[in-house]
Amino acid sequence: MIAWLKLCAGATVSKASKLFIAIFLVGLTVLVFAQENFSHQFKALRVPQGQIITLSLAFNPSTGFSWQLVKISDKKVLEFVKKEYVPVSGERIGSPGVEKWSFKTLRRGQAEVVLEYRRPWEKDVPAEKKEEYSIFVR
């Protein structure tokens, strides 16, 4: 901080101080980038064959955001069944709730499921949230 003040005041700053400031600013930039671009969860689940599994995700339809199924990596292992919205606090308009995504395990193996929380009409905007699941069917 002292080096930064000297730099702002027009005082001579050593090469070491300049290097420290540069490293600090690069580190801060990386930290901000990581927080903005890696705000998603990854989960692993082990389930038996022939079961219906349900993933419950926080959701508020009044915001325009919704969960979008981006990927099921192996549709021979896992099949999408349905999604439904369940309000948490009654049927009031604007109430937050949970969106439940149901899948059926078809056979032994592994499948990745990726869901993104986004506004469907905003095609070129990064997802607000991202959930990734690795489903191991035994």
pTM: 0.66
61: left (phi over 0), alpha (psi -120 to 50) or beta: alpha
Q: What is the pLDDT of residue 17?
A: 57
Q: How far apart are CA 22 and CA 33, in angstroms?
A: 17
Q: What is the pLDDT of residue 13?
A: 58
| Closest alpha carbon to 43 in 118, 121, 114 | 114
Mean pLDDT for 87-91 is 73
Residue 96 reports pLDDT greater than 80: yes
Condensed to tens digits (0 to 9), the pLDDT of residues 18-69 reads 545 545 444 434 333 433 444 455 688 999 999 999 999 998 888 899 999 9
- Phi, psi dihedrals of residue 93, rounded to the nearest 5°: -65, 135
- More reliable by pLDDT, 15 or 123: 123
Residue 112 reports pLDDT greater than 60: yes
**Cα-to-chain-centroid distance, residue 83:** 18
